[in-house]
Amino acid sequence: MLNKIILIGRLAQDPELRYTPNGVAVSNFSIAVERPFTNKSGEKDVDFIDIVVWRKQAENCANHLGKGRLVAVEGRLQIRSYENNEGQRRRVSEVVANNVKFLDWPDDDNRQGQASNNNTDQDDIDVPF
């Protein structure tokens, strides 16, 4: 049997970090993933998919990711049920991530500006040959 999911999308909100009573880190966030086809109005619909990350990777995601960041998530689909405050059974579908790859830098404009400043500085250096 196989339960494997690979997604690439942008964070819909900042990750939420919390700890279980045993001290295990867990982070939750959702990513927006475009569908590969257009709807009747010619636009691509977006699915918002809930992601759960555990332990050190949860802390890394919470500390280094934010809304709008591009990530690749590899994991498994989990469907769980719980009882809400009114006593009704609810089902939740989420991806439990085994691996989260950061696909962009947190501040691309700033990094490009720094790179161009470095190039300008190099133009002022006299090369002996």
Q: What is the pTM for the complete model shown?
A: 0.77
Hey, where are the domains in the chain? 5-123
Q: What is the pLDDT along the chain (129 residues), one digit of tens a residue?
A: 999 999 999 999 999 999 999 999 999 999 999 999 999 999 999 999 999 999 999 999 999 999 999 999 999 999 999 999 999 999 999 999 999 999 998 765 544 444 434 443 434 444 443
Cα–Cα distance for residue pair 92/23, rounded to 1 Å: 24
The DSSP letter of residue 105 is: -
Q: Which residues of 74-98 are buried (b: 16+ CB within 10 A; e: fewer)?
A: ebeeeeeeeeeeeeeeeeeebbbbe
Cα-Cα-Cα-Cα dihedral sign, residues 84, 79, 72, 60: positive
The pair phi, psi for residue 2, each rounded to 5°, is: -140, 135
Classify domain 5-123 at the CATH class level. Answer: mainly beta
